[in-house]
Every structure is written in structure tokens, then in C-alpha cells.
A and B are shown apart, each in its own frame.
Chain A
Amino acid sequence: MKINLKVWRQKNTNTSGKIVNYVVNEVNPDMSFLEMIDVLNGQLVRKGEDPIAFDHDCREGICGMCSMVVDGRPHGPLHGTTTCQLYMRNYKDGDTIYVEPFRAHAFPIIKDLAVNRGAFDRIIAAGGFVSVSTGQAQDANAIPVEKAVADNAMDAAACIGCGACVAACPNGSAMLFTAAKVSHLNQLPQGKAEATRRALNMVKQMDAEGFGKCSNIGACEAECPKEISIENIARLNREYIKAVFTGE
């Protein structure tokens, strides 16, 4: 099949970009969206042009590196799917598709479709971890965890840190990401010791990075490839209020 692509091309952070039209012939319906761009990049390289820069790594939906806003939707139109898991069989011969980078003040464009998501790393560094002394690994069942709590924490832990929530949010807010991390750790006994500090510091870092303020619109939840629920945002709100008013 033949696909018309309208791709955002931008040399670097400081230049302005624009949409450039490309035609990709002989797209195989079993190709993933990224493989189609690989094919296009092959054509560009043979013509001596600059290939399109885009992030990717695992290509199996678990690393969170692939980004891209496809027809106005982060990770494309499918629910619960990363761009690398979006297959061309979802498109028809002759379709026109817009491909743009994730956009947010806190995610500066590096080049073309690749954006700098370092702000997420700094939010994690502010509290998205459990401090442990190294040594012999503890017996896995030594600390009892209520099944429902373990399930909730596990669902939150599914976040792959891709940033689609920020790209989808009309406010450019990172609440779903931050909420998933706080929700994951603050519910588990291992994370409880640092719960107060974690909630305060991660929110503080999130604000310092220049992300927007959540309006509970829910676009993040709808676009999240790991289907993280905004119930986690409510939990973060509770954890934060608790930390502010009762924390030491």
C-alpha cells in the first residue's frame, strides 16, 4: 500500500520546524509504524537526504522510548498501544497521516520527532525510588502485602515513562506519570517509609520542570499505552494533602 506522510522536520531545539510531505510506496500491512518510517528513512538516505530522527528501543511496547503524535494522538489512534506496536494494517492504501513530536514546554525538541524527556528522569530522581541497604536479598514473602494493594501498585507500576500523558494533556501536565510512580511506591510497605518525602519532592520537581496543572480532563488516561487510571491522580492528591498537613 501507499501511505502519504506529513512529518514534522526540525533541525534542532533552536530552529523552527515545519511539516514536510513524503510518500512511502510498498508499505506492507504487517509492518509496524516505526518500520514504515525505517523504510522511508532508507529512501531518504539513498537520496542523500537527512533521515527522520525518532526515538525507539525495544519495539515491543515495554521500554517507553517511542514517542510520536500520530494524527493528533500520542502513540496513534489505538487504545493501550505504543507507536511501535501500531501496525500498518490499521491503515488503508492512500491514507494521509500526520506525524509530529510530543509537545510540551518541558519536553524540548532535540530533532524532528525526538524530544528530550529528561524532565521525567529528574522527577524520578526526586523520589521515585525506595532507599534500601544493599546486601543479601530478602525473602520474597517476608513482608505480607494485601492482594488488592499489590494489584493496585502493580497496575501503577506498569507505567513505562513514555510521556504520552503529557503530550495528550491539553495542559501539558505530568500528573499521570508522577501519580503512577507515587501510587506504585507509596502503597507498598517498602515504599511507605519515604511516602511523605516522595509525594512532596516529586510534585515539587514536576512543578519546577514547568509541566502544567492537571484539570482532570482525562486525555492522559485515554491515551496512556499502559492504561494507567486517573484514580492514581486522586491517590497522589490524597498522598500530597496528607504529606502537607500531617507529614513531619
Chain B
Amino acid sequence: MNWFQSFLVSSLGQKIVMSLTGLFLTIFLIVHLVGNLQLLHDDGGQAFNLYSYFMTHNPLIKTVSYLLYTGIILHTIQGLSLWRQNRKAAGGMKRYVKTSTATSSFAGRNMAWLGILIFIFLVIHLKDFWYVMKFTSQLEMITYPGQDHEVKNLYQLVSVEFKELWVVVIYSISMVVLAFHLLHGFTSAFQTIGANHPKYMTLIKVVGKLYAFLIPIGFAIIPIIFYCCK
């Protein structure tokens, strides 16, 4: 093994892969949310549809999107692998007859379960929108005034989906799951790359808490508003 391979398989190397892919996903979520909030404009979906056309046709963004798919897959595989190794290291599932949860948080103990739920959600979510948009011709094509090309009416698909109560419920619950994953994950990712210092740790913790609440709430209000008020 050369030095880089042995780094990647070391415990710290595996963790750094988790941290960097996790931080990449964390940044992606901000971009994704800012884009999605355009669904709430009262313009029949014009802003959102033009935005989604831009996102699927800009070469730079297309490249980043392939990085993103790779990131999700790496994060998931590495996360599940760490989980397997750690359960073995701790001495199996049934460790103590009397267990105490006094010194660990719910989120910290359950990152893998939360991650698995997020992964299931991602599959549902990608099938609902990304798959339909990219691989089927179900979407209506429209040309907006001042534009020289047709765009897919993704907005319409979103508004139909989010009229279903069960879809709204699944999306909302998934955002609670995401919130817990981030509640631990955000600060954890910084600690993993070595950024923990009394000078700025409080700031990382506060920003992490705000992020873990605000981003999932931002995502969750979209289906809720579509269901109740659009």
C-alpha cells in the first residue's frame, strides 16, 4: 500500500472521508434549499422551472452534480462500513446488561440508523422528481415569454405530488430525521478534521444547531405549504 492508500484505510482516514463528504452534502443542502424556495413564488412556477432548467444544463453544475452522487455513495458506504466495524469493536450489540445513556446523545448513538432512513428518503425523493424529470417524458413542456427554448414544467409535478397527504408526511418525518443527523454531524465533521479549539468551538456548535434546525425546517415547509395553501 502506498502512503495515501494506507491513510484512506486508517481509522482517521475513514473518518476524514466521512467528514469531507458530510460537509460537502451539508453545503449542497443550502444550495438545494435556496433553489427550492423559489417554488413558493406566486408566479405559477416560472422562476422554479427556469432555475431547474439552468441547473440541468449548466456544464459546471452538471459536473458538481456527478461529484454529489459520488459523495452520497461514498458517505453511505463508508458510514455503513464504519458502523459495522464499530459494533464489532464495542463487543457486539449486547454490551452491558445495564446500559446507561447519560453520557451520549440520541443522535450521536444513532448516526447510522438516521443515515439509513435518510438514504431511503433519498431513493423515494429521487424517484419522485429526478427520475421522472430525467428519464421519462411525462413532464409538460412550456416556453416562457422572452425565452428561446422550452423548459420542463417540474413545478406542476411538485404541486401534484405535494397534494398527497402521505407524501407530505413522509417528507416532513424525513426532515426530522435529517435534523437529528445534522445535530450531531455538523460539529462532528469539524472535530474530525481537527477543528476544535476553545477560540471558535462555541461558534461551530451554535452554527451547527442553527443549521440543523433551520435547513430541515426550510425543506419541510415547502410540501406543507403546497398541501395546505397552494
Which positions in B face A, CB cutoff 8 Å? 3, 7, 10-16, 82, 85-86, 88-91, 95-100, 102-105, 108-109, 111, 184, 187-188, 191-198, 201
Given the contacts A212-B85, A231-B196, A217 and B97 also touching, CB distance less than 8 Å: no
Binds B, one of A50-58, A83-91, A130-138, A164-172: A164-172
Interchain CA distance A240-B192 in the complex, whole Å: 11
Interchain CA distance A223-B15 in the complex, whole Å: 23
Interchain CA distance A230-B95 in the complex, whole Å: 23
Q: How many A-B residue pairs have CB under 8 A?
A: 137
Contact A72 B104 (CB under 8 A): no
Interchain CA distance A230-B196 in the complex, whole Å: 8
Contact partners of A210 in chain B: CB under 8 A: 88-89
Contact partners of B15 in chain A: CB under 8 A: 213-214, 237
B51 to chain A, nearest CB (A): 36
Q: Of A98, A207, A212, which is in contact with the most chain B CB atoms at under 10 Å from its CB?
A: A212
**Candidates A103, A105, A238; contact of B194 at CB < 8 Å:** A238
Contact A104 B90 (CB under 8 A): yes
Contact partners of A223 in chain B: CB under 8 A: 103
A133 to chain B, nearest CB (A): 30
Contact B82 A235 (CB under 8 A): no
**Candidates A105, A168, A215, A218; contact of B91 at CB < 8 Å:** A105
Query: A219 at the A/B interface (Cβ < 8 Å)?
Result: yes
Interchain CA distance A108-B103 in the complex, whole Å: 24
Contact B198 A103 (CB under 8 A): no
Given the contacts A213-B82, A218-B104, A170 and B90 also touching, CB distance less than 8 Å: yes
A-B pairs with beta carbons under 8 Å apart, 11 shown: A98-B98, A100-B98, A171-B90, A172-B91, A213-B14, A214-B15, A216-B192, A230-B191, A233-B191, A234-B194, A237-B16
Q: Which residue of A lies closest to B109 (CB)?
A: A170
Contact B98 A72 (CB under 8 A): yes
Given the contacts A204-B10, A213-B82, A222-B103, A98 and B97 also touching, CB distance less than 8 Å: yes
Contact B192 A104 (CB under 8 A): no
Contact A203 B194 (CB under 8 A): no
Contact B103 A73 (CB under 8 A): yes
Contact partners of A203 in chain B: CB under 8 A: 10-12
Query: A195 at the A/B interface (Cβ < 8 Å)?
Result: no
Given the contacts A73-B103, A218-B104, A231-B198, A237 and B91 also touching, CB distance less than 8 Å: no
Which 6 pairs, one residue from A and one from B, show the smallest C-beta to C-beta distance?
A72-B100, A212-B89, A234-B196, A238-B194, A172-B90, A222-B103
Contact partners of A172 in chain B: CB under 8 A: 86, 89-91
**Candidates A8, A103, A213, A233; contact of B85 at CB < 8 Å:** A213
Contact partners of A218 in chain B: CB under 8 A: 103-105, 108
Contact partners of A73 in chain B: CB under 8 A: 100, 102-103
Q: Which residue of A lies closest to B201 (CB)?
A: A231
Query: A19 at the A/B interface (Cβ < 8 Å)?
Result: yes
**Candidates A19, A106, A168, A211; contact of B97 at CB < 8 Å:** A19
B80 to chain A, nearest CB (A): 13
Query: A69 at the A/B interface (Cβ < 8 Å)?
Result: yes
Contact B99 A234 (CB under 8 A): no
A173 to chain B, nearest CB (A): 7
